[in-house]
Structure 1
Amino acid sequence: MLTALFMLCAVPSLVAQDIHFSQFFQTPYALTPGNIGLFDGDHRVAGVFRQQWRAVTTPYRTFGAGGDAAHAFGVEQLGAGAWLYNDRAGDSRFNTFQISLGGSWTERFGDRREHSLTAGLQFGLTAISINYSDLQFDNQYNGFYFDPSLSNGESFARDALTHVDLHVGGVYRYHPAKRELVQVGLGLFNLTKPRIGFFGTEGDPLDRRASFHILTQFPVSEKVDVLPMFQYMGQGPFSELDLGGTVRYIMKDHYGVLRAVQGGLFYRASDAGYVYAGLERDDWTFGVSYDINFSDLVPASRNRGGIEFTAVRVFRKRPAVPARFKACPDLL
């Protein structure tokens, strides 16, 4: 009975919240469609994996992957991209699969084109499913022990559904130098408010989600940058605020060879703190973060929140590397 009650209480809250990540600065599409095609390069591919609440129940796992182009179809201002997520939660294997296609338009201005405004639009398809067979119900207790051969006595109208959705967003960017950046972005998700329900009724509308973020980068010495950042999201009765930053140390940045490391601390209001470590190797950026939970879930989670891995690769059309030495012709 307890498992059934947990499922009935948890499903609405799981449905009512979009997928989100601790490394929001490494998962740009989850922040706003305005981030599509907004990067220094030509093409970008990225992936993220998150596992959380291992100490409480069956771990919750989220995977995401996608890619985008900064100058799609040869048009300088046009960005285009595709992204997919898969999220599986708890004993019921409550699964959410999302795939989205989007585009953006960027206008640059300023004497050195250091300012830019980007507007983005994203269309999505979401499939949701739940497995009732792995849940335990009161009717399956025979008075002495749980008997899975007994009927659970429940009648569910469906175990899967799909819906389409629409998201929009915009970003302002000030990028005067390679190591200087101020970015402010907004995102509005679930504009169509699709209805979701498993119990044969019309279902409840999925709340719209609004997001706001600020990402910055400033050099403080020849080899050290600081990157303060902030994110706020609100969706129905739920909200999330993340605040923190990283310090970046550049070991080498010469002739197209980049080696840098990052470390940082973040705070998620009323929920968790988390640490981040990152490695930059040429066009690759790898990140790992770990959440330390201190919300009301602490007695069950034993302070263990979740671990998250990210990887981003940017492809660039590089100019020819200048020769460091000029070869002399052989003399006959």
Structure 2
Amino acid sequence: MFKNIICCTFIVLGFALKAQDLHYSQFYHHPQSQNPAFLGFFDGDHRVYVNGRQQWRTVPVNYLTASLLFDSKFFVKHSSSYIGWGIGIDYDQAGDSKLNLAKLSGGISYMHSIGTKHQLGLGIMPSISQRRFQDEKLRWDLQWDGERYDPSLSPQESFENVGSFYFDLGAGALYSYKYKTRTRIHLGAGFYHLNKPNQAFYGANTIDAKLPIRQAFQAAVQIPVFPILDIIFHGQRQSQEKYEETNLSALLRLYVNRKPGSLFNILAGCGLRMEDAYYPTLAIEYNNWMVSGSYDFNKSSFKTATDQRGGSEIAMRYIFKSVKPLGFYKKCPIY
């Protein structure tokens, strides 16, 4: 029994140390992890995003992830081009040792308009991250008294450092085409850990624990199929060293009420993370608010432990929109 406890503890710790970047099933609602060029890429003046995810509650080492983003933009004078900027916070926790990552990001983007339908953008996002774990949560062989595990026994283990800081850098590019209000497409590419930061807890000068560069490619298409119905496709392909992931999502947007001041839409669909999970998604949009929820059903080999259940996820968004001033209009000509 004790050997199983020890093995599980270090398997989890080892997995967490080699884990990839945090990610969400609803990746299109987490701009800061997809592409820095997404900062300011929305219809409005300011935007606030809140994300939360709880994964694998049915196994002892569930994962918790939370994120917050505020971004805004200001237009270049006499132009529809704009400069976007944003500040984001991400937090991730996993395992018996409560290994966690806290990340503060700040980014800036520039979106250049080409005519009325095309846009090209670039973005950059530096960040500061801290990784920590709680050594008192670990279990050791000296805490086995011959019959059972006794947490009151001293493990005779000490850690000089249970945390580390590192600077990180990401960049991205974006192309957008808007044919009509409800017909649009965008293609993007984001690149993270460009400086390959060393995240080692000990001996940073001698131990090489560099984060490999992560590449994330995105695509989205929105098409109206009926006067009150749109279909929206999202796609993502990302890789980080040997780790690869492909996400596909399809949503239907039903326009329930299109009256100004009482706008109300319902979105429903499903996403697929190839060879891992599928996740039904349901969302509502009311005026400037959006709330979206999804639930992962695991279909990989890990479903034996999770009973096919993966994780619940929620995304909330609010967009601040100012009323545009009416242009000066002469009702009667002057003779």
Q: TM-score, normalised by structure 1?
A: 0.91
How is 1:218-297 mapped onto 2 (pairs within 5 angstroms)?
A: 218-297=223-302
Aligned-partner residue type, residue 10 of structure 2: L
**Matching of residue 70 in structure 1 with residue 73 in structure 2:** yes
Question: Does the 8 Å CA contact 2:111/2:121 hold for their aligned counterparts?
Answer: yes
Q: Is the CA contact 1:92–1:135 (under 8 Å) kept in the aligned structure 2?
A: yes
Aligned to 2:333: none
* Contact 1:122-1:167 at 8 Å conserved across structures: yes
Cα deviation digits, residues 27-51 of structure 1 (max 9, x gap): 1121110101111111111100100
Partner residue of 1:46 out of 49, 64, 71: 49
Secondary structure of 2:136 counterpart: helix
Would the aligned equivalents of 2:12 and 2:61 in 1 still touch at CA under 8 Å?
no
Whether the 8 Å CA contact 1:285–1:312 is kept in 2: the answer is yes
**1:180 and 2:164 aligned:** no
CA RMSD of aligned residues (A): 1.9
Distance (whole Å) between structure 1 residues aligned to residue 75 and residue 132 of structure 2: 34
CA separation of 1:116/1:15 partners in 2, compared to 1, >3 Å: closer, same or farther?
farther
8 A contact 1:72–1:80 mirrored in 2: no
- 1:176, distance to aligned residue in structure 2 (A): 2.1
Alignment of 1:308 with 2:313, yes or no, is yes
Say whether 1:93 aligns with 2:79.
no
CA distance in 1, matches of 2:144, 2:241: 37
One of 117, 121, 140 as aligned partner of 1:118 = 121
In the superposition, relative to structure 1, how do residues 118 and 216 fare at CA in structure 2: closer, same or farther (>3 Å)? Answer: same
The residue matched to 2:28 in structure 1 has which SS? Answer: helix
**In 2 relative to 1, CA 193–9 (structure 1 residues): closer, same or farther, beyond 3 Å?**
farther
CA contact (8 A) 1:80 1:102 kept: yes
Q: Is the 8 A contact 1:37 1:79 kept in 2?
A: yes
Cα drift, residue 90 of structure 1: 2.3
- Corresponding residue for 2:221? 216
Task: Give me the whole-angstrom Cα distance separating, in 1, the residues matched to 2:8 and 2:171.
Answer: 34
Superposed CA offset, 1:254-302 (max 9, x none)? 2353110001111111111111000000011110000001112111111
Task: Output the CA distance in 2 between the equivalents of 1:72 and 1:79.
Answer: 9
Secondary structure of the structure 2 residue equivalent to 1:187: strand
Query: Relative to structure 2, which stretch is displaced further, 148-157 or 89-98?
Result: 148-157
Code of the aligned partner of 1:14: A
1:2/1:137 contact within 8 Å kept? no
3-state secondary structure, aligned to 2:301: coil
Equivalent pairs, count: 319
Residue matched to 2:330:
none
Query: Could you tell me how far 1:9 is from its partner in structure 2?
Result: 3.6
Unmatched 5+ residue regions in structure 2? Answer: 327-335
1:135-150 equivalent positions in 2, closer than 5 A:
135-150=138-153
Gaps of 5+ in 1: 322-332
Task: Pick from 173, 191, 195 the counterpart of residue 194 of structure 2.
Answer: 191
Contact 2:196–2:211 (CA<8 Å) still a contact in 1? yes
Structure 1 counterpart of 2:172: 169
Overall identity of the aligned pairs, in %: 31
CA, structure 1 residues 122+72, in 2 after alignment: closer, same or farther (shift >3 Å)?
farther
Q: CA deviation at 1:12?
A: 4.6
Note if contact 2:246-2:273 (Cα within 8 Å) is conserved in structure 1. yes
Distance in 2 of aligned mates of 1:210 and 1:163: 20
Shift of 1:309: 0.7
1:164-201 deviation per Cα after TM superposition (whole angstroms, max 9, x unaligned): 11000011011122211101110000111111223445
Q: CA deviation at 1:73?
A: 9.4
Amino acid at match of 1:18: D
Q: Which moved more, 1:78-87 or 1:149-158?
A: 149-158
| Compared CA separation, residues 118 and 12, structure 1 to 2 (3 A) | farther
| Distance in 1 separating the partners of 2:82 and 2:130 | 32
| Residue 2 of structure 1, CA deviation | 3.6
CA contact (8 A) 2:55 2:63 kept: yes
